[in-house]
Structure 1
Amino acid sequence: MTLVTITDPRSAAAEAYRTLRTNLSFYSVAQPLRALLVTSPAGGEGKSTTAANLAVAMAQSGRRTILVDCDLRRPAQHELFGLSMSPGLTSLALDEVTDLPLQKTAVDGLWLLSSGPIPPNPADLLGANRMDAVIAQLLERADFVLFDAPPVMAAADAAILGAKVDGVLLVIQAGKTRRDHSERARERLEKAQVRIVGVTLTNAPKDSLIGEYYG
């Protein structure tokens, strides 16, 4: 997993994340997205990398951005940014800390709320009323909040948390994601009355014309 928006900002891949940022910004002009959850049908499809790079792209555009690692089963964001796992979201949700334990990243305007210690009951923690208060706190501190959630087919977490935010971005990987998994993931989210704002494709074949333009 790499942060191409930092390591190679002039690449076609980094530009793709900026395009995704623009598309999300224009998704609803009347009611702009401020709290977005990123998930995937199954594991290993690139949802954590997508969430991290999108968060960087948002911050680079001048928005105060907070990235929250809500994958309380296999957290990865602290490793991507080289930061601490604890204290984090679970510490806050369990009232072990009172202030938001945000960590400043190397990107101006971007903070990380890492997962914190892995709890025995992630779905219960994410579905509790305390989580509503945490989301409200985050929105007071940032222009845009991104939540990295577990895959839809692996746990109920994404559907539970997705109902609390403005929308969900579903990440699928070219050549890997099964069509039936994508359809079942969409059905599960819609059944939970989650607003799916779009689907993004990872590992897509490189367009030679775009590659030549960006060198």
Structure 2
Amino acid sequence: MSPISEAYKILRTNIEFSNVDEKIQTIMLTSTKMAEGESTTFANLAVAYAQSNKKVLLIDTPPVLVVTDAQIVAAQCDGVIMVIDSGRVKNEAALKAKVSLELVKARMIGVIINNINRNSTDGYYYGERKEK
């Protein structure tokens, strides 16, 4: 099993256990702007759910800071996951996106941060690290 496949299975499990009192049936994925990896995350998470025979509706919306569609959909979903590109998105933009979702009482269940520099000693990474 690849580390990427395992990471999405862990994400699926974390979502399932994020609230044991209520089932999460509809999950919306959004981002702050285009090309942050939201569609790739959507596809891989859909595969992880399909492999576990879980019936969950995943919804991929336009970026929350681009159009209001994401806010409208978020208010109707059981949970929202925001995908952020660590190399391209400023903290202010991420916070603005979070606030815009909070305004409609969206239930944030997680944030996925893409493109983290794995050579940095500031973060945690599970898996094999290739030496240069």
Q: TM-score, normalised by structure 2?
A: 0.87
Which residue pairs with 1:50 in the alignment? 41
Which residue pairs with 1:12 in the alignment? 3
Where do 5+ consecutive residues of structure 1 fail to align? 1-9, 64-142
Q: In structure 1, what is the Cα distance between the partners aligned to 2:73 and 2:16? A: 21
Where do 5+ consecutive residues of structure 2 fail to align? 119-123
Q: TM-score, normalised by structure 1?
A: 0.55
Runs of 4+ that moved beyond 6 A: none
Deviation per CA, 1:44-87, whole angstroms, max 9, x where unpaired? 10111111100100111122xxxxxxxxxxxxxxxxxxxxxxxx
Which residue pairs with 2:20 in the alignment? 29
Residues 1:191 and 2:71 aligned together: no
Q: In structure 2, what is the Cα distance between the partners aligned to 1:44 and 1:148? A: 13
The size of the alignment, in residue pairs, is 124
Answer whether contact 1:42 1:181 (CA < 8 A) is retained. no
Q: Tell which structure's C-alpha radius of gyration is larger.
A: 1
Aligned to 2:76, the other structure's residue is in SS state coil
Q: In structure 2, what is the Cα distance between the partners aligned to 1:59 and 1:202? A: 23
Aligned with 2:116 (options 204, 209, 212): 204
Q: In structure 2, what is the Cα distance between the partners aligned to 1:57 and 1:190? A: 28
Q: Which of the pair is proportionally richer in helix?
A: 1
Q: How far 1:209 sits from its partner (Å)? A: 6.3
How many percent of aligned residue pairs carry the same amino acid? Answer: 39
Deviation per CA, 1:164-210, whole angstroms, max 9, x where unpaired? 11011011112111111101000101011111111111122347761
